[in-house]
A and B are shown apart, each in its own frame.
Chain A
Amino acid sequence: MSRLLKRSYLALVLLFLYVPIVVLIVQSFNAGVSRAKWQGFSLKWYADLINSPSIMNALYITVTIALLSALFATILGTLAAIGIHALQKRPQAMMMALNNIPMTMPDIVTGISLMLLFIFTQVPRGYVTMLLAHITFNIPYVILSVMPKLKQMNKFSYEAALDLGATPGYALRKVVLPYVMPGVITGALLSFTLSLDDFTISYFTTSPLVQNLSTLIYSEARKGIKPTMNALSALMFVALLVLLLAVNRRASLNQDN
């Protein structure tokens, strides 16, 4: 098949992926409420955004939950990966099988099962329960990012450090941790984005009073989405894009050195 044909096929697939996003961003600058008609350029939805307490509050909850859950999941997950890696073969296989359960469970079942847990134990659903749920679905991804790094590592480095007089804690901090750091960072970034984008699990584990962006959008979807939401997602999209470019630049700078 000719080169041109292949490239135009790829361009078409990408077009399919990007059309709704472009539409969404263009709409955020539309002066009117209509979704189909262009009624002039305006930044008024961006102004509305800053003045909307419910959206700002949801944004705050979304971002803090993403940061906190990524932090806790990374700490717990990295520790767990080191522990699991040091286990004997049998218990190791068992732990990895357990680790796979939350990842194979459909989101809706995870959400509902956690909802049942919180109702059953009479823990009122809200910020803390949502955070616990996010940590729960993030940890497996951290472990899966750290594990390959641990497997690559020469298993005698840790023992050599001990033989040379390092305490186990010192050896972990100065030998193991630096080596697995790239995996830890990947896991943290993955957790952050997964938490940012989650809807289903948050929906079942929070109360209507504590809403993140996804659940807020969901409750508004029935009434019809306001263009302020488009403005917000356009902003978040650009912010994430800048973040990615910065990370990429850092990575390529590190490679050069």
Chain B
Amino acid sequence: MSSFSFPPWAVWLMALGLLAFVGLVAYSVRRNRGIKRTLFSFPYGLWIVVFTIVPLLLIGYYAFTDRSGAFTLDNFKTFWDSNFEMQKQLTQLGFDPVEMGVARGHVNVDTLVYSLWMAFLCTLICLGLGYPAALFMADRDFRLGPTLVILFIIPMWMNFLLRTIAWMSLLEDNGLINTLLSALGLPRMQLMYNSRAVLLGMVYNYLPFMVFPIYNALNKQEYRLSEAAMDLGANPRTTFLKVTLPLSLPGVVSGITMVFMPSVTTFFIPRVLGGGNTEMFGDLIERTFLMADNWNVGSALSLIMMVLIIMSLTLLRKVDPEGEGGSTI
């Protein structure tokens, strides 16, 4: 455990304080003692501090300390070189790690690069599949658009773990696809336990998050603009490239954000559909915390991921400063 901690009653005290505050506000409002509406934001402010800011600071605290609670940067060195701890111990015992053949361990960095690459591919495929779908759905002659939106939402109600596991029964060696293939006299295929299967699972889970924002952006577009372009002599191709596409970019940016962010931190999908060497960064963090029981390195890894995500968000904000494409379904 850490070097300092505060007792459980402190948390209950905080909870009680919160409740008391809510009660007080309600009472004052009833009694018309001139309570200000702005005070209503106070309980949530407190909530954010206790359940978001403090936990984040804790991650920061563990990332920059060792097991005894002293300041250290070793956890970040372990990210760069997964054998760092071993080398340190060997040096302390008077051995030369290089002589003993303990070289730099690439695992952590490789996992991060692999996760970023997979997330990039997933985002690209979702964009390629999702943009045309959104475009056709937002078509003015197509009246089923709103119905299709609901049809896209419904699968997301099925528990995401079960949906992913359902793919197993399709892709397995004795699964439905292979059974169909052999019934048709075709050779069986190894479909599971590789990066392609993981990618399929990711695209399957995140595709709707690409379609919705693009559909929203296209749908609220003034259709007269593209009609005007046509009237002025543009062909459909030019109209699309010069009018429709640029106007839908905020939706595209928002879709990319909504697919890329969860993709990088994908957890569980690689474990079910992937094989031994498809571990992604989310799984690495979970393993470091719960199996290796190393909170310090785990926190450092989480911090690195947070920084990466904040960086990419800032980059995307630059493309879409107003956050116009922002949409929660």
Contact = CB atoms under 8 A, between A and B. Distances in A.
A23 interface: yes
B44 to A, nearest CB: 3
Contact of A240 (B48, B157, B208, B265): B157
Interface stretch (A47-55, A72-80, A249-257): A72-80
A237 B44 CA distance: 33
Contacts of B29: 167-169, 172
Interface in A14-41: 14, 16-21, 23-24, 27, 35-37
Nearest to B323: A100
Interface in B1-42: 2, 5-8, 10-11, 22, 25, 29-30, 32, 34-42
A113 B162 contact: no
A230 B150 CA distance: 23
Contact of B302 (A112, A135, A167): A112
Contact of A24 (B42, B150, B166): B166
A137 to B, nearest CB: 9
Contacts of A24: 158, 162-163, 166, 169
A113 B59 contact: yes
A122 B8 contact: yes
A80 B41 contact: yes
A218 B48 CA distance: 29
Nearest to A22: B166
Chain A interface residue number, banded:
35 or more
A189 B22 CA distance: 23
B59 A225 contact: no
Contacts of A193: 157
A82 interface: yes
A14 B169 contact: no
B282 to A, nearest CB: 5
Contacts of A182: none
Contacts of A133: 51
B268 A76 contact: no
Contacts of A6: 136, 139, 142
A193 B11 CA distance: 28
B199 to A, nearest CB: 13
Nearest to A172: B29
Contacts of A122: 5, 7-8
Given A76-B43, A79-B44, A113-B59, A108 B267 contact: yes
A151 interface: no
B293 to A, nearest CB: 12
Interface string A91-107: 00001001101101111
Q: How large is the interface on B (under 10, 10 to 19, 20 to 34, 35 or more residues)?
A: 35 or more
A117 B54 CA distance: 7
Most buried by B among A106, A122, A229: A106
A200 B5 contact: no
B170 interface: yes
Contacts of B5: 120-122
* From B35, B159, B272, residue with most partner A Cβ within 10 Å: B159
B44 A20 contact: no
A135 B51 CA distance: 10
A123 B8 contact: yes
A13 interface: yes
Interface in A113-169: 113-117, 120-123, 132-133, 135-136, 139, 141, 143-145, 167-169
A117 B265 contact: no
A117 B11 CA distance: 10
Contacts of B320: none
Nearest to A107: B265
Interface string B122-157: 000000010011001101011000001011101111
B59 A109 contact: yes
A167 B44 CA distance: 24
A109 B305 contact: yes
B55 A18 contact: no
A168 B40 CA distance: 13
Given A18-B155, A86-B38, A197-B159, 11 more contacts: A17-B207, A35-B169, A36-B174, A77-B44, A79-B41, A95-B41, A109-B59, A116-B295, A193-B157, A237-B158, A240-B157
Interface of B: 2, 5-8, 10-11, 22, 25, 29-30, 32, 34-45, 47-48, 50-56, 58-59, 62, 129, 132-133, 136-137, 139, 141-142, 148, 150-152, 154-163, 165-170, 172, 174-176, 178-179, 204, 207-208, 261-262, 264-265, 267-268, 272, 282, 285-286, 289, 295, 298-299, 302, 305-306, 309-310, 313, 328-329
8 contacts: A6-B136, A23-B169, A76-B44, A86-B41, A98-B45, A108-B267, A168-B34, A221-B165
7 closest A-B pairs by CB: A83-B41, A83-B40, A113-B55, A80-B44, A169-B29, A20-B166, A35-B169
